[in-house]
Amino acid sequence: MFKAIAAASLATFLLAGAAQADSPAYTWTGYGLNVPGSGKCPTYKMTIDVTVVGNDVQGRFQQEGRPERNFKATMGADMKFKTTAVVGGGNKMDVVGSLKEGASTIMLDGYCLFEGKLTKK
């Protein structure tokens, strides 16, 4: 009985790991854009990672020297997503992205504007 349970648990773990490994993953690293009133934004380095499982989009972003933040969204039929992420002090950033083949992009807009082309990991 124990062997059957252990084998079933191992199979579930391996299948879940394989499904996660097949999930598309994207990344972008760059600096804030120099827009009017942006102040120090062009000196802020940001890394954004996005993973897709089915229609669920999960992301994390981290400005160099600051805590990691996360977001979740649902992919639309047009391969686009939009959500809001909470950052320090209760402030928010709009997160907008597109995962169209050959045109994967991401934008964070809040205290600064970060925008770039996502590349597959």
Domain membership of residue 113 (yes or no) is: yes
Domain membership of residue 72 (yes or no) is: yes
What is the rounded CA–CA span in Å between residue 66 and residue 118?
21
Q: In which band, very low, low, confident or very high, does the pLDDT at 3 lie, cut at 50, 70 and 90?
A: low
Predicted TM-score (pTM) of this structure? 0.79
**Number of separate domains in the chain:** 1
Domain membership of residue 13 (yes or no) is: no
Token pair belonging to 4: 């059957």
Domain membership of residue 38 (yes or no) is: yes
54: left (phi over 0), alpha (psi -120 to 50) or beta: left
Token pair belonging to 38: 């942006």
pLDDT tens, position by position, 75-101: 999 999 999 999 988 899 999 999 998
Tell me the residue range of the domain where 96 lies: 24-120
